[in-house]
A and B are shown apart, each in its own frame.
Chain A
Amino acid sequence: MYKKILIAGALLSTTILGTGSNAALARDQIRIVGSSTVFPFATTVAERFGKNTPFKTPVVESTGSGGGLKLFCSGAGDNAPDITNASRRIKLSEVKKCAANGITDIVEVKLGYDGIVLANSKKAKAMELTLKDVFLALAKNVPDGEGKTTANPYKTWKDVNPTLPDLKIEVMGPPPTSGTRDAFVELAMEGGCKSFKWVKALKKKDKKTYKALCHTIREDGAFIEAGENDNLIVQKLNANPSAFGIFGFSFLDQNADTIQGSKINGVAPDFDQISDGSYPVSRSLYFYVKKSRIGKTDGIQEYLAEFANDKAWGPEGYLADKGLIPMSDKERKNWAEKVKNLQNLSM
């Protein structure tokens, strides 16, 4: 018995380590980390890149924008990622941190836009909202006369704006850890919040109070944190036609047969209107490349070429099929040029 175990153990370890001996520790494979919003697009490009070129398919990790940049800036060696995706622009503090770790040459690539939609089931009527309506319906405290605030008293959409239907406010959205939530708060909530003149003036005087007022979502049950999984929100909308959900445009695009996006400030969330910037709740998506890794990790330039290509990021490209909102022709040309010249990031 004892011998048998020893033999089995020895066999097992030799097979494991034996097959491991051919592994290359030097990098012949691109490593990408970062935003979960960019993840579906980066993986699509990575997959095509792996199929159409002799290089290995890059490994793409979904770590979130902040986590990705942290890993990206942790060093210039083989163990750190070559590329990081972000659903916001890199911050100055992150550039400095990168520089402190010897990463000075970074190429910035903007790949397109993402819209955040407020959608409901097709079984119910579509809504037309303004950013002010969104803010008043979802904020924890709302302005009550000049310079004063009160706890949000609104129970139905009609309370918020008499032209809206008499429907209980019930909105499902992502938790605070999500980038979608950050973007929604910054773009939609703050946008509506600013429409009050005295609040706008407050921004200069007392930024902290301003932020607390504009960025805090109500906690009395009208806003429901529905977890990071946007598919779950879509399913819940189908089950509850009076509820609304907040998620990325690609989920609306993929489920267009059962859900509809609300018009915001009179603009419907669709490709063209998000692309030209008229839909108010949209953000830019980026990725960042370490210039020093070009030549050390195989295929980085070819990957960039695959991405910065109308076949991929153009209005008829395969990323648009995945729900990416393309940049305008002029903007694409501009960014493609920057990618080609490997232009350094300038803040």
Chain B
Amino acid sequence: MTETFTRKTPELARRHAGEKRFQWLGKAAITIAIGFLLVMVGTISWMGVGAFKQTQIALDVYLDPQEIDTAAPNKADYGAMVKKAQRSKFSDVKKHNDKRKLYKLLSSQAAFTLQHQVADNPELIGQTAKIWFIASDDVDMFIKGNTNVDDSGNAGKLDKKQLQWIAALKSTGDIRTRFNSSFFLSGDSREPELAGILSAFTGTVLTLAVCFALSFPVGILAAIYLEEFTPKNRWSDLIEVNINNLAAVPSIVFGLLGLSVFLNTFGLPRSSPLVGGMVLGLMTLPTIIIASRAALRAVPPSIRQAALGIGATQIQTVFHHVAPLAMPGMLTGAIIGMARALGETAPLLMIGMVAFIVDVPGSVLQPATALPVQIFLWADSPERAFLEKTSAAIIVLIVFLIFMNLIAIILRHKYRQRF
């Protein structure tokens, strides 16, 4: 080795310092990004984790055989039975106002809970059964420590008396928190303790299915034709510029298009996943086309030349050799586009999917809403208990997103071929 290579010149030190500096900056950038992500995910999980638990209160209900007709058990007044059980638990409550306060400890769902219990276990009729009821959102928030007791002894909407009753229930072990399965198994509700995400989740799945069914085949065929078959001229340039522009158009514009074309001209049903999926499909189309063209371009020309060289036609070359190699990239593009569609609310606003929908949609023509819309609606509700529901719905949305990305990774690995 000559001296030139071993001696450290000031020039070399400066260049090394430059590299070090860049590495430090890079590390700092990553740290900041991860920090933000952790703060976001951390606060959301911290606020939302409560929603996966539910407060329940036990009552001994006497199922009076004179009140319940065994032939038609659904006709009985279960609400009255629940109230009676509450009164007998706290027999010192006499005043009308106090009774009302007492009833407010339980969710309005209590009568239905009892009705279902009786329908499932008819042998309970005539007995006194201990049944767990869902507590009202105010009690739920208090038990979870989300409301604080103020100077006058009240906590949020609960007053002193109600807090005493809760303490009494606690001391006898008649109050508990359990996994909140109804959050996953029921639709939206105006009562925070009953609200669930099933209708919004189903709506999202149906909407994305329509979106995929529309945008994936169209996008891929358009990309293949543009990349492999069209001659390069002014027209193809114009189309390319337009597609790139379309990918950057704000999503609300697609919503307006959906409103005027799909709803007003074609008369398709408002608020339906079909229209939602079509609008989002149009929105993702440019993304898919651009990603797919990039994937096709990345296939080495030698593959095409070899196929053509042994006598394959143009279409055989494309569909037997080029497209399969580009497939992982195309799928990734499609899933990135769908992930963007998953988080959209603006276009859905215009076509009536920002709505209160309790029933779980059974088809793409029935009214539905989507997960981000549900988050938006809950975030805007006055009841404090919706705060944790909002965060919980965000968690579900993020998990859904991770799941979609996971599928993209798996598909990519499955179809990847090395040269």
Q: Which of A2, A79, A316 contacts B267, CB < 8 Å? A: A79
Interface residues of A (CB under 8 A from B): 1-2, 9, 12-13, 15-17, 19-23, 25, 29, 31, 33, 36, 39-40, 42-44, 46-48, 50-51, 56-57, 59-62, 79, 122, 228-231, 248, 250-251, 253-257, 316, 318, 321-323
Within 8 A of A (CB), among B18-74: none
Q: Are A62 and B354 neighbours in the complex by a CB distance under 8 Å?
A: yes
A-B contact pairs, 20 of them (CB 8 A): A1-B323, A9-B216, A12-B213, A13-B213, A23-B362, A23-B364, A33-B352, A46-B358, A47-B190, A47-B358, A51-B112, A61-B355, A62-B356, A230-B380, A231-B387, A254-B157, A254-B383, A256-B156, A257-B148, A322-B190
The smallest beta-carbon distance between A252 and chain B, in angstroms, is 9
B386 to A, closest residue via Cβ: A231
Q: Are A61 and B150 neighbours in the complex by a CB distance under 8 Å?
A: no
B319 to A, closest residue via Cβ: A2
Q: Are B209 and A256 neighbours in the complex by a CB distance under 8 Å?
A: no
Q: Are B364 and A19 neighbours in the complex by a CB distance under 8 Å?
A: yes
B182 at the interface (CB under 8 A from A): no
The smallest beta-carbon distance between B159 and chain A, in angstroms, is 10
B100 at the interface (CB under 8 A from A): yes
Q: Which of A13, A23, A46, A256 contacts B363, CB < 8 Å? A: A23
Interface residues of B (CB under 8 A from A): 100, 104, 108, 112, 147-148, 150, 154-157, 189-191, 206, 209-210, 212-213, 216-217, 263, 267, 269-271, 274, 319-320, 323-324, 327, 352, 354-359, 362-367, 377, 379-384, 387
The smallest beta-carbon distance between A231 and chain B, in angstroms, is 7
| A20 contacts across to B, CB distance below 8 A | 274, 363-365
| B319 contacts across to A, CB distance below 8 A | 2
Q: Are A16 and B365 neighbours in the complex by a CB distance under 8 Å?
A: no
Q: Are A16 and B355 neighbours in the complex by a CB distance under 8 Å?
A: no
Q: Are B364 and A57 neighbours in the complex by a CB distance under 8 Å?
A: no
Q: Which of A2, A42, A62 contacts B377, CB < 8 Å? A: A62
Interchain CA distance A254-B137 in the complex, whole Å: 11
The smallest beta-carbon distance between A23 and chain B, in angstroms, is 3
Q: Are A231 and B367 neighbours in the complex by a CB distance under 8 Å?
A: no
Q: Are B357 and A59 neighbours in the complex by a CB distance under 8 Å?
A: yes
Q: Which of A9, A50, A231 contacts B217, CB < 8 Å? A: A9
Interchain CA distance A251-B324 in the complex, whole Å: 57
Q: Are A40 and B354 neighbours in the complex by a CB distance under 8 Å?
A: no
Most buried by A among B104, B270, B324: B270
CB-CB nearest 8 A-B residue pairs:
A23-B365, A60-B356, A57-B358, A43-B356, A61-B355, A44-B190, A20-B363, A257-B156
Q: Are B356 and A46 neighbours in the complex by a CB distance under 8 Å?
A: yes
A41 to B, closest residue via Cβ: B190
Interchain CA distance A228-B349 in the complex, whole Å: 15
Q: Are A57 and B190 neighbours in the complex by a CB distance under 8 Å?
A: no
Interchain CA distance A122-B152 in the complex, whole Å: 12
Q: Which of A9, A40, A50 contacts B382, CB < 8 Å? A: A40
| B384 contacts across to A, CB distance below 8 A | 254-255
Q: Are A22 and B363 neighbours in the complex by a CB distance under 8 Å?
A: yes
Interchain CA distance A48-B190 in the complex, whole Å: 9
Interchain CA distance A12-B281 in the complex, whole Å: 15
16 new A-B contacts, CB < 8 A, other than A29-B367, A39-B356, A62-B377, are A9-B216, A16-B210, A19-B363, A23-B365, A25-B365, A40-B190, A43-B356, A46-B356, A47-B191, A48-B108, A50-B359, A60-B356, A79-B263, A230-B380, A254-B156, A255-B156
Q: Are A12 and B364 neighbours in the complex by a CB distance under 8 Å?
A: no
Interchain CA distance A229-B323 in the complex, whole Å: 48
